[in-house]
Amino acid sequence: MNEKRNVNTKDALLAAAIEVFADKGFDAATVRDICGRAGANVAAVNYHYGGKDALYLAVLEEVFPRDTYEQSGDEDMDPELRFKRYLRNLISDIYESGSATIAQRWSIFLREMAKPSRNLDFIVRRQVQPRADELREIVSALLGPECPESVLAYTSSSIWVLLLDHLLTQPILDRLTPRRPAVNSANLEEFVDHVFKFSLGGIKAVGR
């Protein structure tokens, strides 16, 4: 009975911590907040996880799971087709309505971007690096083998800006006149098409 209660408390703490860290970020979140939301004693975090830092790492391992990224294609695929598929997959992952965990993942990601903790390296390895590696491979195929390293880097970064801009600036876009539409399930394909055409045009211009 005690073992089952301990497992339930540990799971409840993890679920509550995901919510609190997503809402407040690492620095502002407190053990008391997490335990209160989990319905647990304030000593429970130390007992089950060894402290706030270790609990945050457990949260990151939960919301940024290992080996979940699947590439959009391989080097034998037409690079424009692969690029379009890559954009659709990533834009869907970022903006399409999904589980609460997906929303919390990106909330934690944004908070780490604004105020990095010591665990940002972990997030980059799990979430960013595999996506950045594939985009770099695609852009390299589109620009050709003679493309200078700096051009490849700048071009990839420019595409990332297009992908993440609405995620980062939507509160400002909501307050502009005329109001800019948010990216969501209803206009996802329209946004994918725009980013694809705009990026491809820029890539071709750079290639010339």
Residue 59 maps to which CATH number? 1.10.10.60
Tell me, what's the pLDDT at 96?
82
Same domain as 84, residue 59: no
CA–CA separation, 166 and 182 (whole Å): 7
Return the DSSP state at 201: H
Q: Is 97 found in the same domain as 19?
A: no
Given pLDDT bands bounded at 50, 70 and 90, which one contains residue 1? very low
Give the range of the structural domain holding residue 27, as residue numbers without chain letter.
Answer: 2-63
The candidate with the shortest Cα–Cα distance to 190, out of 179, 200, 182, is 182
Asked if 24 contacts 107 with a C-beta cutoff of 8 angstroms, the reply is no
Residues 143 and 179 in one domain: yes
pTM confidence score: 0.84
**For 84-117, how does the pLDDT look when each residue is reduced to its tens digit (9 = 90+)?**
999 999 999 888 866 677 788 889 998 998 888 8
d(CA 96, CA 87): 13
Q: Which of the listed ranges 47-51, 64-68, 182-186 does the model predict with the highest average pLDDT?
A: 47-51
In a domain, 74, yes or no: no
CA nearest 111: which of 19, 205, 3, 11?
Answer: 19
Q: How many domains does the chain have?
A: 2
Mean pLDDT across the stretch 12-17? 96
Helices (H) and strands (E) in the chain, counts: 10, 0
pLDDT tier for residue 18 given thresholds of 50, 70 and 90: very high
Residues 118 and 43 grouped into a single domain: no
Return the axis-axis angle of helices 2-28 and 52-63, rounded to nearest 10°: 90
Q: Is residue 149 part of a domain?
A: yes
Whether 195 and 151 share a structural domain:
yes
Question: Could you tell me if 189 and 146 lie in one domain?
Answer: yes
Residue 39: which region, alpha, beta or left (left: phi > 0; alpha: psi -120 to 50)? Answer: left
